Amino acid sequence: MKMPERLELTKNAHFYLPKNEITDEIIRDLLDEASNNLEEGKDFLIDVFREEKFVEEVDLNYIYSVKVFPSVRPVYFLDDEIEDRIHAYIIIIEYSNHYAILKKSCSNISELVKDNFELISGTELSRTFDHNAEYQKMALRNMTISDRAMRARSYEAADLKGLLSTHSAGRSIPYYLKIRQGASTKSISGTGRIVEASQRISIDDIAQWVKEQVNLLANAADNEFLEAFAKKVELNDVLALTTPNALLIESTQLAERIEKDGLIIKYKSRRGKTITVSNRVKNQLFQDLEKTYEIDVNYDIVGHTADAKIRKNPKTLTIQSKKLSNLRVIENGKDVTLQRFIVKNGFYSITFSDPKYMYFMGACFQDSSGVSEINSILDILKPIDEMVQITSEKGSFTTNQQSFENGSMFELVERIHQMDDYIFCDDLGIEWADHITFNIQDGSISFIHSKHGDQTTSASKLHDVVGQGIKNLGNMFFTQQQFMQRIENKYNSLYSNSGTQTQIHRVRAGNLTNIEANLSGLLKNYQLHRKCILSCSFMSKSAIETEFRKIQNGDPVAGHITQLLWIISSFAHAVRDMNSIPIIYCAP
């Protein structure tokens, strides 16, 4: 049965170029694979193979293939063996050596597509817009896999051009764009899917739309706004310069997709019985996948060398894991291994020894801001001579004690800020920071987070304190009423720690008699600026500078040094994005 004129479609497709000659056999294999989930005993509603069509009114010649068919999938919310009946389709439109694939609810064809076609990426599609385009929505993936850094963020406005600060853009990969050009609004995802808002239209109209996109691609030009962001580069070129050093499974995206689509995860027991994974096991799985895994020189996952490794393919890096292969995801009635599900959806990121590069959503990206950013990152580090004398974070406590112990980080922070008008100890309870200070004359508010430890260039200690700082960025923009309430509820008390009630006043400096007027004046001051300060005795500026200069010179460094750079960079960008000043107190 043909009747393709029955189709009513939306403008929603992936665009491809052929890797080699596309034969009848390749197209037939694609259609057969896609319709692998055809309901047993049923026929195709529409079945067309490589039919040529000429649309005279618009002088359009194209070839199309269509399969529309019924499919069934299990109903998981009932314990009976009943199924949902749905209808699926795959449409392949061939025009001017370009291939557009539109599909819904069909079987997975990613392997076949990858073998024969080159995806036209979101980066290339976004170059089809000129300088008049309005960027209405944008999702960015930061070039970091730190679990204490801001990994992704999204923005929305009438037009982000001119509004969105591009100071951190070089380390950000755009993976979703919604753009308006004239009367048309398009969204482009990192997987190369282009969707244009429209009524449902005929297959001839879809072919006409495909022709328009192909013509736009032929005339694509560099886009000044998007040029500021991370650039797509060839994996082979990157692997000639550097090697992978860490893997992160994008577990949040994976979990959201599984929950949103109601997908079931199963595994086979030793007795060969298929068992559905319980919620407890599933949550534990996602928790394990949240970790960052180091990669050694042999591409093995450190600590899991017998079980997991990174596989280097001609144009991609994929994961190979026995544990992930033993778990299966049921999608559209068919089961695929969790490993394959993660790979085909691009739910993983890989960083390299050279921090300029990152592999994300099946492609490699280069930080366009370059290592020149290292200079501005080193400027954030403020060496404090007395930091080398610090022996603890808070010191020990006695019942008659009125100030923090000498040799503690808390005492040093209060000394560094002794010229500020107000110092509040906000430690413990629902805390915004360890210390909050106001300087009326300087017009500044400082949130200070302290962390003590032996000197090291390891990234793990910095993870925690950066996490605290970023988590509390929103609290830095408090109202007068919120802070007055905090004084009443928290700062009017004496400091208590580890069961010891001390005589340390939480208001460490300043007269509360005038606080309301002073705070009002400070918040109204047009020169008001906010500082997010990390005070870290375990960091030495000279030691870090030595390692970071190696990166600038292209010399090899250990994997944890790369992570350290990314964490400090992520902290700096997150704070600057909140219009605040990032500072790290450290040893010389």
Q: pLDDT per residue over 122-143, tens digit each?
A: 778 887 887 788 989 989 887 7
Task: Please state, in angstroms and rounded to a whole number, the distance separating the CA atoms of residues 349 and 31.
Answer: 31
Residue 497's identity, in one-letter code, is N
pLDDT at 376: 78
- Which residue spans within 444-554 are E strands per DSSP? 444-451, 494-497, 500-505, 507-509, 529-540
Here the tokens at position 54 are 């000429």
219: confidence class by pLDDT, cuts 50, 70, 90: confident
Instruction: Report the range of poorest mean pLDDT among 25-39, 159-173, 342-356, 500-514.
Output: 159-173
Q: What is the pTM of this model?
A: 0.60
Here the tokens at position 209 are 């739309």
The pLDDT of 289-315, averaged and rounded, is 87
Tens-place pLDDT, residues 367-381: 766 555 787 788 899
The pLDDT of 215-236, averaged and rounded, is 82
**Residue 235: pLDDT over 60:** yes
pLDDT at 560: 75
Helix, strand and coil percent figures for the chain, each rounded to 5: 30, 35, 35
342, 348 Cβ separation under 8 angstroms: yes
pLDDT at 261: 78
pLDDT at 166: 62
pLDDT at 275: 84
**Residue 57: pLDDT over 80:** yes
Compute the Cα dihedral for 176, 179, 184, 185 and give only its sign: positive
The pLDDT of 469-485, averaged and rounded, is 90
**Residue 99: pLDDT over 60:** yes
Tens-place pLDDT, residues 248-265: 888 877 888 888 777 888
- Three-state SS across 399-427? CCCCCCCCCEHHHHHHHHCCCCCEEEECC
Taking all residues of the chain, what is their mean pLDDT, rounded to a whole number? 86
**Residue 104: pLDDT over 90:** yes
Sorted by sequence, the CB contacts under 8 Å of residue 13 that are 6+ apart come out as 93, 100, 101, 102, 193, 194, 206, 210
**Residue 14: pLDDT over 60:** yes
The pLDDT of 105-112, averaged and rounded, is 87
pLDDT at 371: 58
pLDDT at 391: 92
Token pair 């918040």: residue: 523
**Residue 460: pLDDT over 70:** no
Here the tokens at position 473 are 């960025």
Sorted by sequence, the CB contacts under 8 Å of residue 344 that are 6+ apart come out as 108, 110, 111, 336
The pLDDT of 529-551, averaged and rounded, is 91
pLDDT at 447: 96
pLDDT at 225: 79
pLDDT at 529: 92
pLDDT at 68: 94
The pLDDT of 307-317, averaged and rounded, is 88
540: confidence class by pLDDT, cuts 50, 70, 90: very high
**Residue 18: pLDDT over 60:** yes
The pLDDT of 69-91, averaged and rounded, is 83
**Residue 527: pLDDT over 90:** no
519, 478 Cβ separation under 8 angstroms: no
- What is the DSSP-derived secondary structure letter of residue 392? B
